[in-house]
Structure 1
Amino acid sequence: MKHASKLLGVSTSLVLAMLGSTTAHATGTLAGTTITNTATVNYSVSGIAQNAATASNSVVVDRKVIFTVAGAAATTTVSPGQTSAVTAYTIQNSSNDTLDFALGAVNQSTGATAAHGGTSAYSVTSFSYYIDTNGNGQYDAGTDQQITYLDELAPDTTKTVFVLANVPLSATNAQVSGVVLTATAEQGGGSGSQGTVLTNSTGAWTPGTVQTVFADLTGATDSQYDGKYSAKGDYTVYAPVLTVTKLSSVVSDPINGTTNPKAIPGAVVEYCIVVQNASGAASTTALSISDPLPTQVTYLSSFGILLNGTYSGTACNSDGTANLSNSSYTAASGSNPASVAGTLNNVAAGGATTMRFRATIN
């Protein structure tokens, strides 16, 4: 569409007036800026200079929408059952206008390729969004403000948005959860009030109004020129991989003593609980064992409870430490059976620990 103003003769001078911001931006002239140029015609009649004739033309700059979203450079390491696990995204507005951005995080489908390798194997839940209020690039609980959308992102500006989610307790070591964050361009200009979703102006150019042209590229899951941009992030589980084995051996009986004893009434049985952690797994924390005793046996208090022993691979070794502050025996009470319990040292990857105690067969 042409936009013309009446002009006498040929222009001899040109003046460019920018009504609005004159600051130079990488994004170009800001949307809504009025570009006015005025042509002046000077002439004479019978050698006498006449008043100059002028004509002006004004063009209102339209909105060019272009922005990107980028996920964190590395995966976020999480534990099973962790709440408010954080991954970061940056949103850069390269448009020539201040915009709001709607935020939407979704799980990748099972088997989809995750951002930092591997395939998505589980889903996180309860997405929430926080803006990097102090601009340090790190999530600071109590400082960074929770948001539902990104408000008033100026041209040539980048903001970090943190996505928080909960990890299911069922997630296991080395499993990955892929997440896609999509930002959708919305009308800006009203701080504290979310703007409407922008639409691409596909019809003819309308002089004097601000029209919208989508110039965004293809994101992780969205298309070119759709007013959206998406990027991947992921959470990778780092957890212990435990194998628990409970062994028993007959130590003595009333007939044979310690020579080939049998599990007859009056015999002493040694129980050993082995906790092993797989190579490459995370170390355990707060490792404790509780073992209710069957009614057919009676706890042998003279032997006690030995903690943090070693395991040969087929049998428990005769070691461990009696630690009354970290172990306990609780007698039966009502419907509650007697039980032994112990708090053990953490087990590193590839390591093992044991808890041993003895009981007499009734």
Structure 2
Amino acid sequence: MKKALYFALGTASALSIATSAVAAPTPAGTDVNNTATIGYATGGVTQANVLSNTATFKVDQKVNLTVAEVGGLVTPTSPGGSNFVTTFTVTNTSNATLDFALSAAQLTSGQTVAFGGTDSFDQTNVRIFVDSNNNGIYDAGVDVATYIDELAADATRTVFIVSDTPAGQADASLAGVVLTATAAAGGTTGTQGSALVQTVGADNPAAIDIVFADTAGKTDALRDGKFSADDTYKVIAPTLALVKSSKIISDPFNGTTNPKRIPGATVEYCIVATNTGAGAANNAIISDSLASVTGVTYQPNSIYTGVTVSSGTCNADGTLQTDAVDGDQSNFGSNTVTSNLGTISGGASSAIRFRVTIN
């Protein structure tokens, strides 16, 4: 007598896992249970199915993450300024909730920085803070956490590097900073977990093995449980040059026709302030003391501001200022010419002129 046999393999649980894998990774630690069924007939009569044992294994933990700079531009700073912010995101692309330890480092002088150029100085007072209210903006005194706590799989958190710029840095100087996130064990809210260690040796189907799947970032290596990205601080500062010149206006004998610099002659000083930097020079004040200049005497009410310049020489224009401290831009006191030029934008210049008599 012939017997007919047929097999039916797989279960609904296995099918559901395959379906969910399209949407999201199966969480680490998930028990995958699978049984097989054999059906058969004998003598033309279908017999009861025979079940296999249940084969069980745990889904291992795939550790992966990315760190990315936000904005795609340098962060402008000013010499001597504080609390300049660079912004990053940290994304948990693992299949488990994790903590992430955070560290900041600075590139060394000469290294290539993000967005081009080379590092030439270090920021000071470098700190790291996690965005507590998820608004993407650093809020001093609000964003105080220094590590990422319990970040779910496929979730992202914003992180800030906050630092100060030393005084005296030149315009266009660059400082590169690197944020590194290191995967750590999750599971306890309010406590930073320990750094994860990749499982070595053979697979253990009854345990949760750990596999690093991260790529190499700016300064970290392939499959090290870390990822890093960099950003750049750029100094935007004024660079002022001050040039003073003089020209003869008249003398008592020749008048204004080919005058000479003899006693009694009138000489005009021209002072030009030029900003060759990118940043604006605010509250720029020229101070010119004549106390130590022998042989000349200031001519009262001869200060002109807003003077234009041609070929480095003041033109005969501008606005006449009074010598008194009366709210206008300039004054004369204690044998000193003082003029507030206001703001000199990057690439711009401002000039004043005034006259003296040769004693």
* TM-score class, shorter: 0.7 to 0.9
In the TM superposition, residue 131 of structure 1 has moved relative to its aligned partner by: 3.1
Amino acid at match of 1:321: T
Distance 1:147 1:288, change over 3 A: farther
- Give the equivalent residue in structure 1 for 2:130: 131
Preserved contact between residue 250 and residue 270 of structure 1 (Cα < 8 Å) = yes
- Give the equivalent residue in structure 2 for 1:275: 273
Identity over the aligned pairs, expressed in percent? 40
- Give the equivalent residue in structure 1 for 2:213: 215
- Give the equivalent residue in structure 2 for 1:260: 260
- Give the equivalent residue in structure 2 for 1:195: 193
Preserved contact between residue 301 and residue 320 of structure 2 (Cα < 8 Å) = no
Aligned to 2:153, the other structure's residue is in SS state: coil
Measure the CA separation in 2 of the matches of 1:292 and 1:174: 33
In the TM superposition, residue 16 of structure 1 has moved relative to its aligned partner by: 6.1
Measure the CA separation in 1 of the matches of 2:331 and 2:103: 51
User: Which consecutive residues of structure 1, in runs of 5 or more, have no partner in the other structure?
Assistant: 1-9, 332-337
Which of the residues 338, 341, 346 maps onto 1:344?
341
User: Which consecutive residues of structure 2, in runs of 5 or more, have no partner in the other structure?
Assistant: 1-5
- Give the equivalent residue in structure 1 for 2:167: 169
- Give the equivalent residue in structure 2 for 1:288: 285
Measure the CA separation in 2 of the matches of 1:230 and 1:51: 56
Measure the CA separation in 2 of the matches of 1:254 and 1:26: 95
- Give the equivalent residue in structure 1 for 2:25: 28
Per mean C-alpha deviation after superposition, the further-off stretch among 247-256 and 83-92 is 247-256
Does residue 328 of the first structure (1) align with residue 331 of the second (2)?
Answer: yes
TM-score (normalised: structure 2): 0.78
Q: In the comparison of the two structures, how many residue pairs are matched?
A: 338
In the TM superposition, residue 202 of structure 1 has moved relative to its aligned partner by: 1.2
- Give the equivalent residue in structure 1 for 2:54: 56
Distance 1:328 1:26, change over 3 A: farther
In the TM superposition, residue 65 of structure 1 has moved relative to its aligned partner by: 0.5
In the TM superposition, residue 253 of structure 1 has moved relative to its aligned partner by: 7.2
TM-score (normalised: structure 1): 0.78
Structure 1 segment 312-327 matched on structure 2, within 5 A: 312-323=310-321, 324-325=326-327, 326-327=329-330
In the TM superposition, residue 17 of structure 1 has moved relative to its aligned partner by: 5.5
In the TM superposition, residue 360 of structure 1 has moved relative to its aligned partner by: 5.8
Preserved contact between residue 131 and residue 144 of structure 1 (Cα < 8 Å) = no
Measure the CA separation in 1 of the matches of 2:144 and 2:52: 55
CA RMSD of aligned residues (A): 3.7
Listed one character per residue, the Cα deviations across residues 320-345 of structure 1 (whole Å, up to 9, x for unaligned) are 324442323443xxxxxx54322114
Measure the CA separation in 2 of the matches of 1:144 and 1:182: 22
Per mean C-alpha deviation after superposition, the further-off stretch among 26-35 and 89-98 is 26-35
- Give the equivalent residue in structure 1 for 2:91: 92
Distance 1:133 1:159, change over 3 A: same
